[in-house]
Structures are given as structure tokens and as C-alpha cells.
Amino acid sequence: MIIILTGAPGAGKGTQADLLADKLGFKKVSTGDALRRHIKEGTAVGKRAQSYMSEGKLVPDEVLLGILQSELESAQGKPVLLDGYPRNVAQAKALQEIVGPQGISGVFHLDLDKSLLVERISGRRTCINCGASYHLLTSPTKVEGFCDRCGSEVVQRPDDHEDKVRVRLEVYSKETSPILDFYKDLGLYHCIDGSQSTEKVYDSLAAQLRSLA
Ligand code: AMP
């Protein structure tokens, strides 16, 4: 089973993917996390991806395809939750090729207003080690500046700075949002009100996922 979580930057995809992985046993496949790991480890993929990511732009499709394939292989039969892939129609088509016409069980769009997105991203803080995500006001760390999960430092992601966020939102509306129609046409699209609390969004996602199983 493959489920896609989609939505603009700041919509809460990563937070919901973590919850669904913890509580429902999904394997979370976050292409953003995988790319950040490559950058941290200084791999060739990381070196290629770095400038695109720091500018808030999409990393070329062929780089992502390699990442996606190895992440899907490592899922070893577990249900997979895709967070951050696909990010354009070409990637959506490539995914269809890999998993086949019945491979995707549902696409869940966390939908919310642009003003809320900016507010959420500007307060977001991310663990430099495990990638756990916090918010200065709505979900702060227990000890200021340090991750609850692994104790490492929690910082603002370079691409979460305001100028980069503007670019990322533009990229989302031009390149990523057309995938919504692509999945509507395939009858796989579900819309979730992403402005609700984390718990409410989780409850509606989990209920809809159970009905698909
Ligand atoms: P995320 O953590 O999902 O917000 O992704 C952070 C950044 O990684 C994005 O702004 C892109 O530069 C890059 N990225 C992640 N996933 C993809 C993808 N599927 N296609 C292209 N670039 C991606």
C-alpha cells in the first residue's frame, strides 16, 4: 500500500507522516529528509542537491528518482507513506510507472491558507540530527533549543527563512499543485482541512486511511 501526503510547505505533512508512522506502522518516505541526509554525509547526490535546496527550488527529477527507488526498496513490504514526492506531474507519472496503476491507494492533500503556511514555517524548528519538527509557539521543545527525541540541537532550516519560503510557495503553486488534478482524474484525491489542530488532522487522516485498508 502506498499513500501520498501532499500540500504546500508548512502544511504539516512531515508531522502527520511521523504520527502515522508511529501509530499505524507506515514506513515514512520523506524525499526532503533523504536529501538532507545525503547533504550531511557529503555524497555526490547531496552535493548536486544542495544549491537547489538552499534556494528553495526543486532538485532535478532524475536525482529524486534514484532516491525514491532505494527508499521504496528499503520499505520491505510495509505500507509506505510518501511525504514530499511527487512534486510535479513528471514525478507523478514516473511514480505510476514504478508502482503500476493500482499501486497508489490514496492521495491526501493537507489544504490550508497561504497566511497560515507562512506563520507555521517561520516558527518551525527542526532537529539537526533526527529531523523531528517543532514550532516555537504551538509545539515547542521541552528544553529550549534541544530535541525531545534525541537531545540534539534544534535550529531553523536554512530554507525556512522568509525569502526562501516565498520561493518555495511559488514553486509549489506553479509546479506541485498541478498534481492535484492529475490525482483527481485518477479518482485518488482526498482533501483534508490542514488548518485544524494536529490531533484533528491526524484523526481525519487515520479514519480515511482505515477505510481504504
Ligand atoms: P521538504 O523537506 O519536503 O520540504 O523538502 C525540502 C527541499 O528538498 C525542497 O524544497 C526541494 O528543494 C527538495 N525536494 C524534496 N523532495 C523533492 C522532490 N520530490 N522533487 C524535487 N525536490 C525535492
Domains of the chain by range and CATH?
A: 2-112+166-212 (3.40.50.300)
Testing ligand 1's pocket by substitution, the residue of 31, 89, 169 carrying the most ligand atoms inside 8 A of its CB is: 31
Testing ligand 1's pocket by substitution, the residue of 36, 50, 59, 168 carrying the most ligand atoms inside 8 A of its CB is: 59
3-state DSSP of 89-146: HHHHHHHHHHHCCCCEEEEEEEECCHHHHHHHHHCEEEECCCCCEEECCCECCCECCE
Which residue's CA is the nearest one to ligand 1's atom 8? 32
Give the residue among 211, 16, 62, 185 at the shortest CA–CA distance from 6: 16
What whole-number distance in Å separates Cα of residue 128 and Cα of residue 143? Answer: 15
The pLDDT profile of the chain, 213 residues, written as one tens digit per residue, is: 999 999 999 999 988 999 999 999 999 999 999 999 999 999 999 999 999 999 999 999 999 999 999 999 998 888 999 999 999 999 999 999 999 888 999 999 999 998 889 888 989 999 999 888 899 998 899 999 999 999 999 999 989 998 899 999 999 999 999 999 999 999 999 999 999 999 999 999 999 998 887
Say whether 13 sits in a helix, a strand or coil.
helix
The pTM (predicted TM-score) of the whole model is: 0.91
Which residue's CA is the nearest one to ligand 1's atom 19? 85
